[in-house]
Every structure is written in C-alpha cells, then in structure tokens.
C-alpha cells in the first residue's frame, strides 16, 4: 500500500468510526463514509465534518456536547463545551499508530466526580479569568481594591471556585476552518472580578497536525485576564506509565521565583547551572526529585520576545517517537510536572493517574501579575481586545 493510499484508507476508517449516534456538521452537508472516500484528500482546511454528540448533563441539569475535529492525516481532537475542555487528542506514533496523548475522560461524569473535584487538576480545560495564582485573592485597579474567591489556601487559583473550566460555553462549529469557537460571557463580579468579560476561544485542527488555540476577550471595566489551556500530556504508548521519560526543552533563561504558597516573589532568576535549566533537552525525571515542592511547578520567562508566535518548548517521547512543539504569543509558560496527581483518578483509558503521570505546559502571562508592577501587565481595559495564540504541533522522530 503506498503512502497516499494508506492515508485514504485511514481516512475511511476514521470517518466510518465517526458516523453513528452523533451529528455531523460539514460545509458539504452530510455524507456517508463511502461517499467521503471519493473526495480526494487536499491540503485545504475545508473538507472535514465536525461530529457532535451528547457528553452528559451537569449537576445543574445543563446538557453538554462533545465536538470531534479530524484532519486529513487522521489526527483527532475532542473538545467539550464544559469548560471548553480538550478531552482527547489522537496522534500517530513513529509507526503511524494512533493513541491518545492527553489525560481526560470520555464523559462529563469524570469531570464532575468527587475525586476529580477534590484534587482539582483542570485536565484540558480553559482556565480563567486568570490562569494561575493571585496572592491572597486581592488586587487594586485605579485605587480600588477587589477581593476574589480564595480556593487555594489563602490564594486565588485558576479563576476561583467556579472558574471558566466549570461553566458551559456556547459553541459554534466552523467546519470550513476545521474549528470550533467557544464563547463565554462572565458577568460583572463573578468570582469577585470587575466588569462583564466576553471571551472566545477557537480551537483549530490543521492538516499539519497542529492544534491552534486563539483567545480573545473584551470587557466593560478594567479587569485582569490571563487565559490558558490546562491540558496534561503523556505521549507514551497507551499512557502505560508516568511521563518522567519525556525529554523536554524550554526556551527560557529565567523563571519567576515563588514563595512556599507558589506566589512569585518578583525575582526573575537565571536557570543556568540549576535543575530548572531546560535550554538543552532533559528528561523530565532526571532532576525532578531535586526540585523543591515535589517537582516542577514554575513559570518560565520565555527568551524570545516580540510579536507573533515564538517557540516556547519541545517534548520528545523516545519510545513512541512522538514530538510536541509549543509555540505561543505569550511571554511565559507554566511547566507543571503533575506533582499533585496521586492515583485517585482513573482516566479514559483505564489508567490510574499517579504522580507525574502527565505534565502541563500552560502558555500565560506571569502568575500574580496584578500585584507585580514589574511583570508585563494583564489588565484589560474597556475598548481593548485581549488576544493570545498558542499552537501545539505534533510530529514524530525516527530514531530513539
Ligand atoms: C498550577 C499548580 C496546580 C495545577 C492544578 C497548575 O497550573 O501551577 O500549582 O496544582 O495547575 O491545579
């Protein structure tokens, strides 16, 4: 079977698998899998249908939906409108074998289970209004102090008690772009934040095996905004063990030093000569035990600055050959090595998510920026548009 033929066969299997209970939304209308094989695969983004299927009801009785994006190479990304959450990402290994590379669940129940809510890992979700911590849940804008919900000891974390990860977003499938746009209007005062904030998050799956995430937001009062996606990755075959063997590069010479409650002290410290240095590829597990606090949970200050997408990080998983590159317009990236996973959660594939089972690379502005005048500002003013883009690009390497 030549390569092109193989791809076509693969497309057939993928599409055949996706015809069933769900609804297909596509620019070319509904087609059977057989009709679809007649379509010659092109590099354009407008050939794929977006499958929609029920994902479960929230505790408040709201219905949720799962959206499936597939590209011409057979890569597949599933996203639910609950928290605009990525629930699964199927990518090929170096032999072409597809497997899920993120931690997640196959129904809403997993995201609402008591064990999940207790440990609060935010698998795949959009976190907001403010990704990461705000010290003591307080900040001042134009002389007025605001008090946020405190949900992480004395601090505010990832938007509060009911952040953007726990609300149902409005969804707009965009089959012409192989994308889904999610929208959430956060009312004035929600979790203590000022102003009505309208946010959109658009997930696009390209034919180059990239997940592109575009964020936009507008407000009617000045408010902090720092949106990110909180996916945990494990690129190993079957996710059969922890992620400590993944080899990571982070393009950052400095990181933000934190206190014992993980709030930045304001100091940007050089990584050179320390266990924090990932400028050259290093296995996550090689030095993780030497890191204070049980592992990596730090914001790296990306070395490349300026407009546009910059390469932030690369991950290589040697047994599968999978590679993931992270590009972003943001100035920072939180590398979190899954230190608080403790085996109490069992994921979609039946695996127990033990410590370091997955890691997050969350593109962001720095934690606690509203209280750190020297950090790049995170305050969005009325009349401005918050814009941020991050790309997770998947490929493979041949050699070990
Ligand atoms: C934070 C961790 C936190 C994790 C899950 C990460 O972004 O940096 O401290 O435990 O999210 O909530």
pLDDT tens for the 400 residues of the chain, in order: 333 332 323 332 333 333 334 555 553 333 333 333 333 333 444 557 999 999 999 999 999 999 999 999 999 999 999 999 999 999 999 999 999 999 999 999 999 999 999 999 999 999 999 999 999 999 999 999 999 999 999 999 999 999 999 999 999 999 999 999 999 999 999 999 999 999 999 999 999 999 999 999 999 999 999 999 999 999 999 998 999 999 999 999 999 999 999 999 999 999 999 999 999 999 999 999 999 888 999 999 999 988 899 999 999 999 999 999 999 999 999 999 999 999 999 999 899 999 999 999 999 999 999 999 999 999 999 999 999 999 999 999 997 5
Q: Which residues are catalytic?
A: 230, 362
Return the percent helix, strand and coil in the chain, to nearest 5: 15, 40, 45
Asked if 271 and 253 touch (Cβ cutoff 8 Å), the reply is: yes
> Using CA positions, which residue lies closest to atom 6 of ligand 1?
336
Between strands 386-396 and 210-219, the pairing is antiparallel
Q: How many Cβ atoms from other residues are within 10 Å of residue 107's Cβ?
A: 15
Residue 196: Cβ-neighbour burial (10 angstroms; 0-12, 13-18, 19+) = middle
Residue 132 counted as an annotated binding residue: yes
Residues with Cβ within 8 Å of residue 271, at least 6 apart in sequence:
252, 253, 254, 255, 277, 278, 279, 300
From the list 271, 166, 228, the residue with the least C-alpha distance to 367 is 228
The verdict on the CB of residue 121 being under 6 Å from ligand 1 is yes
Q: Is 156 annotated as a binding residue?
A: no
Instruction: Note whether 220 and 195 are within 8 A (CB).
Output: yes
The answer to whether 354 and 343 are in contact (CB under 8 A) is yes
Q: Is 158 annotated as a binding residue?
A: no
Residue 213's SS3 state is strand
Cα–Cα distance, 154 to 134 (Å, whole number): 10
Neighbours of 140 (CB within 10 A): 10
Distance CA 92, CA 217 (A): 34
d(CA 400, CA 391): 25
| Residue to probe by mutation, ligand 1, list 297, 299, 342, 355, most atoms within 8 Å of CB | 297
Closest protein CA for atom 12 of ligand 1:
121
Q: How far apart are CA 64 and CA 81, in angstroms?
A: 6
Is residue 85 helix, strand or coil?
Answer: strand
Q: Strand, coil or helix: what is 245?
A: coil
CB 328 within 8 Å of CB 389: yes
328 lines ligand 1 (CB under 6 A): no
What atom of ligand 1 comes closest to residue 132's alpha carbon? Answer: 7
d(CA 126, CA 131): 9
Beta bridge partners of 186: 197
Q: Would the CB of 295 count as within 6 Å of ligand 1?
A: no
CA of 71 to the centre of ligand 1 (A): 31
Pick from 67, 305, 316, 319: which is nearest to 205 by CA?
A: 67
Give the length of the chain: 400
Q: Supply the residue whose CA is at minimum distance from atom 4 of ligand 1.
A: 121
Q: Rounded CA gap, 202 and 388, in Å?
A: 11
Q: Indicate whether residue 336 lines ligand 1 (CB < 6 A).
A: yes
């Amino acid at each position: 079977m030549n390569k092109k033929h193989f791809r076509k066969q693969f497309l057939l299997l993928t599409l055949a698998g996706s015809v069933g209970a769900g609804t297909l939304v596509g620019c070319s209308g509904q087609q059977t899998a057989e009709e679809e094989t007649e379509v010659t695969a092109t590099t354009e983004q407008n050939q794929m249908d977006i499958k929609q299927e029920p994902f479960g009801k929230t505790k408040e009785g709201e219905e949720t939906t799962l959206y499936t994006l597939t590209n011409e190479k057979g890569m597949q990304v599933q996203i639910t409108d609950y928290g605009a959450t990525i629930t699964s990402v199927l990518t090929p290994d170096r032999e072409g074998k597809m497997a899920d590379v993120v931690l997640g669940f196959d129904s809403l129940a997993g995201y609402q289970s008591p064990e999940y809510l207790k440990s609060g890992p935010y698998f795949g979700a959009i976190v907001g209004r403010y990704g990461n911590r705000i010290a003591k849940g307080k900040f001042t804008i134009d002389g007025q102090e605001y008090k946020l919900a405190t949900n992480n000891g004395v601090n505010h974390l990832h938007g509060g008690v009911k952040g953007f990860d726990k609300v149902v977003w409005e969804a707009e499938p965009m089959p012409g772009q192989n994308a889904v746009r999610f929208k959430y209007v956060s009312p004035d005062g929600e979790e203590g934040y000022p102003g009505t904030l309208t946010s959109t998050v658009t997930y696009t799956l390209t034919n180059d095996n990239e997940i592109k995430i575009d964020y936009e937001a507008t407000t009617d009062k000045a408010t902090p905004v720092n949106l990110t996606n909180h996916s945990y990755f494990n690129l190993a075959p079957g996710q059969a063990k922890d992620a400590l063997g993944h080899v990571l590069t982070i393009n950052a010479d400095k990181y933000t030093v934190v206190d014992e409650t993980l709030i930045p002290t304001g100091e940007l410290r050089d990584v050179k000569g320390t266990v924090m240095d990932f400028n050259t590829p290093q296995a996550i597990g090689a030095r993780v035990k030497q890191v204070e606090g049980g592992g990596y949970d730090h914001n790296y200050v990306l070395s490349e600055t300026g407009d546009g997408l910059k390469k932030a990080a690369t991950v290589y998983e040697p047994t599968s050959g999978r590679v993931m590159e992270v590009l972003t317009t943001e100035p920072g990236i939180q590398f979190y090595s899954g230190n608080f996973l403790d085996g109490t959660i069992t994921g979609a594939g039946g695996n127990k998510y033990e410590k370091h089972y997955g890691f997050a690379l969350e593109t962001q502005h720095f934690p606690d920026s509203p209280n750190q005048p020297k950090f790049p500002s995170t305050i969005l003013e009325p009349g401005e548009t918050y814009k941020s883009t991050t790309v997770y690009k998947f490929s493979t390497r041949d050699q070990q």
